[in-house]
Amino acid sequence: MKRKSIHVAFAVLLGFIWSCKAIPSNRIISINNIGTANDKGIWLTHEHILVDFIGADSINPADWDHDTVIEKVRPNLEALKAHNVSYFVDCTPAYLGRDVRLLEKIANEFNLKVVTNTGFYGAGKNKFVPQFAKESSAQQLATIWTNEFKNGIDGTKIRPGFIKIGVDSQNPLDPIDEKLVHAACLTHLSTGLTIASHTGQAKGLWPQILLLKKYGISPSAFIWVHAQFEFDNEEYLKAAEAGCWISLDNLAYETEQHIEKLVFAKTHNILDHILISHDSGWYDPQKEVQQLNPYTNIFEVVIPELLKRGFTEEDINQLLVENPIKAFSVERRTIGTN
Ligand SMILES: [Zn+2]
């Protein structure tokens, strides 16, 4: 019995050493580039090229044509050049229209470091979770996602730069959503990919943070997506205290509300936990007429207003350059080490 437990401990140790070697520490993985955390550049941390809400059971890549999509998004992507945007995080998950071949064409044509993701999205009452995933264990899902990290997505060599999941914001979480969080934790431990979870109000955040801690994962590996939907600013202070990233990612709209939240964050010294983006775009294959929102409101409206309200150039640099590179850096983050 004793010998057996020594064997188990040895296997765990070997597994740990192997995975430490397998995870390239402090890397940023985009579609056409593996950079280091020293590669500075301006980020948009939550945007979309294409989203199809038809549902996991009906989605079909034949419903969109790459050239048509590229022509529709072209003006919005060309507009980014004037603002020196380097990194474009495409947050569309699998079964909602993630198309890495399309993203690769866009990355090359518009000279952007496009970051894509692995994971499944449970928000929307699991409409976007495929049937097989509803019946799979967390470990089985983590194996699929880790395999995308190691070998590439959809038969390509393109690797995810983060894990994107989604939950309906409630406490306790829906059981399938909770399983997705378990799978994301297991995938983080085997890959070092940061977990970005569509959450909304904070009530759905806390059960996720609790699960991370059960796995020994630091909340610094977690992005609270759509945090702008929380109305109680105290929750932002608690989230920053816990150590997670707070994503105010709807800055294409309701600009004044977001500016108030950013001023609150600066006043309370938690700007080092904030990510900003537009959650803008996107081509929708189910629509006859495409109305794509631009990705430039932050540069044209939000930043000038923040500067008027006492923000410094360093603050802006922190939001658009320094925080994102830390948040999306691929490294295993365990409690006590990060
Ligand atoms: Zn989004």
Q: What ranges do the domains of the chain cover?
A: 2-327
Q: How far is the CA of 249 from the centre of ligand 1 (A)?
A: 8
For 24-84, give the DSSP string: -TTEEEETTEEEETT---EEEEEE-SB--TT-TTT--GGGS-HHHHHHHHHHHHHTTGGGT
Q: How far is the CA of 286 from the centre of ligand 1 (A)?
A: 17
Both structure tokens of 48: 């979309």
36 or 166, greater pLDDT: 166
Q: How far is the CA of 318 from the centre of ligand 1 (A)?
A: 22
Predicted confidence at residue 13, as pLDDT, reads 46
Q: Is the pLDDT of residue 145 over 80?
A: yes
Q: How far is the CA of 188 from the centre of ligand 1 (A)?
A: 21
Q: How far is the CA of 17 from the centre of ligand 1 (A)?
A: 36
Q: How far is the CA of 38 from the centre of ligand 1 (A)?
A: 27
Q: How far is the CA of 337 from the centre of ligand 1 (A)?
A: 30
Predicted confidence at residue 338, as pLDDT, reads 60
Q: How far is the CA of 96 from the centre of ligand 1 (A)?
A: 11
pLDDT band at 43; cut points 50, 70, 90: very high
Q: Is the pLDDT of residue 10 over 70?
A: no
Predicted confidence at residue 39, as pLDDT, reads 84
pLDDT band at 320; cut points 50, 70, 90: very high
Q: Is the pLDDT of residue 18 over 60?
A: no
Q: Is the pLDDT of residue 7 over 90?
A: no
Contacts of 12 (CB under 8 A, 6+ apart): none
52-59: long-range pairs with CB below 8 Å, 24+:
52/96, 52/97, 52/284, 52/285, 52/286, 53/96, 53/128, 53/284, 53/286, 54/285, 54/286, 55/127, 55/128, 56/95, 56/127, 56/128, 56/129, 56/130, 56/131, 57/130, 57/131, 59/95, 59/96, 59/97
Predicted confidence at residue 22, as pLDDT, reads 52
212-216: long-range pairs with CB below 8 Å, 24+:
212/181, 212/185, 213/335, 214/185, 215/185, 215/186, 215/188, 215/189, 216/334, 216/335
Alpha-carbon distance 260 to 239, whole Å? 18
By mean pLDDT, which of 170-174, 233-237, 251-255 is the weakest?
251-255
**33 - beta bridge partners?**
30
In this predicted model, what pLDDT tens digit does every residue of 185-195 receive, in sequence order? 999 999 999 99
Name the most confidently modeled range: 1-5, 93-97, 333-337.
93-97
In this predicted model, what pLDDT tens digit does every residue of 212-243 receive, in sequence order? 999 999 999 999 999 999 999 999 999 999 99
Predicted confidence at residue 14, as pLDDT, reads 40
**30 - beta bridge partners?**
33
Q: How far is the CA of 223 from the centre of ligand 1 (A)?
A: 13
Give percent above pLDDT 70 in the chain. Answer: 92
Q: How far is the CA of 279 from the centre of ligand 1 (A)?
A: 5
Q: How far is the CA of 47 from the centre of ligand 1 (A)?
A: 6
Average pLDDT over the chain, rounded to an integer: 93
- Under CATH, which number does the domain 2-327 receive? 3.20.20.140
Q: Is the pLDDT of residue 35 over 90?
A: no
Q: How far is the CA of 78 from the centre of ligand 1 (A)?
A: 20
Q: Is the pLDDT of residue 16 over 60?
A: no
Average pLDDT of span 311-335: 97
Q: How far is the CA of 97 from the centre of ligand 1 (A)?
A: 12
Q: How far is the CA of 124 from the centre of ligand 1 (A)?
A: 13
Q: How far is the CA of 21 from the centre of ligand 1 (A)?
A: 33
**Residue among 109, 187, 107 at smallest CA distance from 147:** 187
Q: How far is the CA of 167 from the centre of ligand 1 (A)?
A: 13
